[in-house]
Amino acid sequence: NATSTAQDCIFCAIVARQAEASVVYEDETVVVFMDLNPVTPGHLLVVPREHAVGLEDLDGATSAHVWSAGHDMARALRRSSMGCEGINVLLCDGAVAFQTVFHFHLHVIPRYAGDGWTL
């Protein structure tokens, strides 16, 4: 089975559609949804369907797909009418690096002049 589901993992629950999320894109490998507490309007999370905690346990093919989807999302945000003038793509691997949900994810964060967000 290509999709492992961790017990008590909120992102696995979202991927399985057992928890609510505003999904904006999905395919056979990733699900992209709105962050529950966006740091700027349009803040997205790109999540592999398969449970992996961090870079150590994410396989290369899945990683490539996640980053490619992140690129697509960033391009779509830049082309949208939201007034997005820049993008941060952020990966937090490990608690010391501010990871709080231990299912791998990329943040795609649209930036606006004067939005005030600092890392």
The CB density around residue 8, as the number of other CB atoms within 10 Å, is: 7
By a kind-dependent CB cut-off of 5 to 8 A, residue 81 interacts, out of Zn ion, ligand 5GP, none, with: none
Query: Tokens 């997205």 sit at which residue?
Result: 44
Q: How far apart are CA 56 and CA 72, in angstroms?
A: 24
Would you state the structure tokens that stand for residue 46, as one six-digit string?
């790109």
Say which entry of ligand 5GP, Zn ion, none residue 115 contacts (CB below 5 to 8 A, set by partner kind). Answer: none
d(CA 17, CA 88): 27
x/- map, 36-55, ligand 5GP, by CB under 6 A: xx-------x----------
Q: Applying CB under 6 A, which of residues 24, 40, 99, 115 lies at the interface with ligand 5GP?
A: 99
Residues at the site binding ligand 5GP, with contacts judged by CB under 6 A: 10, 21, 33-37, 45, 92, 98-101
